[in-house]
Copies of this chain bind each other. A is one copy, B any other.
């Protein structure tokens, strides 16, 4: 997070233009408790009355009006957002476009899909649409969801490794009971593995769950909380303190531990692009596309990224917003590997592997009005659909990787963004 001398000096000069530095530093050191300020009314969390009170409060406090946010035609009944949003005041409206058909040959997803994407970034949808077209013309995208698992990783602290050891032995020897214990917290969760991590007098137990069709972060929290309490209550040794999550699980962040194994769902997708399609649809020479992939892989290694891919985050974010996923999980879901190689017949083989697709088709935001409709658009709403959704998501990512690689390799990247990404009216 450092900057060299010249840039630092220039930043300091810019800062001095913005504030009176001496006064500002004094203010920092002299901060005192602030006089109480009115907070927005939190009662009536998900009622129309509560909503109205908060809207009135905002109008008064900020002296502005918010006709679009407050648009009553969008969510007529505030109880709809129950369980999704506290201090509810209205809605954010994100433009939705579609791409496709995206053709998928998967273990759960099969056929053509018109995929809804919510984005404010011009050129994104056009790019994914082009990738979908090219891959469809080459027989579609094979997409296989093979692994699943969501982790919680509580940590327990002891005086020394001896005390830790007693607890560890108890935990190992009672592991067979864990499934029964957690079943009081969830009827869906199944324990897949229990990993033990000794670090001096601290023990992390990394519990991996199958969470059915839910993304499952809450489910694994509730189960793990119950399990920890049982362990602490029944162990011959008590930890000095314990926490239900040690920040080892990889929740809401790109992390090697998740990349190396799985978090949510792991899906691999592939397509064999023909020479003709690369040249005519993607307007690129196959050799250049593959050369770009190689140079960009060396580039991304040098950047110190986890995994090696292009802009998987773009498509996944747009899909996650549209379909009520936990969008902050894009931090981990966008980690993966893209690979491109010349085929013997002069085309391009492309694969994308995403090991951290935290997605669900029940729970979270999936039942909200537009979110549910978007899931229904690809027949992915409700139980039994999560693997299907994951296979479509990986196929979508593949389409985007194809298109951006071709655009950069052929020199169209800048033009595409000029065409689609600029407000015409500005």
Contact A69 to B241, CB < 8 A, known contacts A86-B125, A313-B331:
no
A196: interface (CB < 8 Å): yes
Give the CA-CA distance A377 to B65 in the complex, in Å. 9
Q: How far is the CB of A321 from chain B (nearest CB, A)?
A: 6
A67 CA to B373 CA in the complex, in Å? 8
Tell me if A144 is interfacial: C-beta within 8 Å of chain B.
Answer: yes
Say yes or no: A142 contacts B28, CB within 8 Å: yes
- Please, which residues of chain B bring their CB within 8 A of the CB of A306? 253-254, 304, 306
Structural contact, B353 and A199, CB atoms closer than 8 A: yes
Residues from chain B with a CB closer than 8 A to the CB of A308 are: 247, 298, 301
Q: A201 — which chain B residues lie within 8 A by C-beta?
A: 270, 349, 351
Contact indicator A28/B266 (Cβ below 8 Å): no
Whole-angstrom distance from the CB of A177 to the nearest CB of chain B? 13
| Partner among B108, B254, B260 whose Cβ is within 8 Å of the Cβ of A18 | B108
Q: For A165, give its contact among B21, B120, B197, B326 (CB under 8 Å).
A: B21
* B95–A91 touching, CB < 8 Å: yes
CB distance from A251 to the nearest CB of B (A): 7
Evaluate contact between A408 and B253: CB separation under 8 angstroms: no
Count of chain A residues near B, Cβ 8 A: 225
Centre residue among A93, A270, A369 by max chain B CB count within 10 A: A93
| Residues of A1-30 whose CB lies within 8 A of B | 1-12, 15, 18-19, 21, 24-29
Instruction: State A374–B66 Cα separation when bound (angstroms).
Output: 8
Q: For chain A residues 108-144, which have a beta carbon within 8 Å of chain B?
A: 108, 112, 114, 116, 118-126, 129, 133, 136-140, 142, 144
Q: Mark A304-316, 1 if CB is under 8 A from B, else 0.
A: 1111111111101
Of the candidates B81, B268, B304, the one whose C-beta lies within 8 Å of that of A260 is B304
Seed contacts A246-B295, A256-B304, A316-B328; 8 additional CB < 8 Å A-B pairs: A2-B260, A5-B196, A28-B105, A28-B165, A29-B159, A87-B126, A161-B270, A256-B257
How far is B369's CA from A71's CA once the two chains are assembled, in angstroms? 11
Residue from the list B103, B165, B259, B316 in contact with A1, Cβ < 8 A: B259
A361 neighbours in B (Cβ, 8 Å): none
Determine if A155 is an interface residue (Cβ-Cβ < 8 Å). Answer: yes
By the criterion CB–CB under 8 Å, are B147 and A58 in contact? no
Q: A359 contacts the other chain (Cβ, under 8 Å)?
A: no
